[in-house]
Amino acid sequence: MRHEPAPDLAATIERARAGDQAAIRTLIELYQGRVGRFVLAMLGDDSEWEDVAQATFVKMMLGIERLQAGDIFESWLFRIARNASLDHLRRRRWRRLFTSWEPHHGEVAAPVREIEDRRLVQVERVLRKLPVDQRELILLMRENDWSYGDLARITGVTATAVKSRLFRARSRLRALMNGDES
Query: What structural domains does the chain harbor?
Result: 1-104 (1.10.1740.10), 115-182 (1.10.10.10)
The CA distances from residue 8 to 51, 66, 134, 153, in Å, are 29, 20, 34, 24
CA dihedral 26, 27, 31, 35 (to 10 degrees): -130
Per-residue pLDDT of the chain (182 residues; tens, 9 = 90+): 455 555 588 899 999 989 899 999 999 999 999 999 999 988 887 678 889 999 999 999 999 998 888 788 998 999 999 999 988 888 776 555 444 455 555 555 444 444 345 667 777 788 888 888 888 888 888 777 778 888 888 888 898 998 898 888 888 888 888 776 65
pTM: 0.59
Helix (H) or strand (E) holding 143: helix 132-143
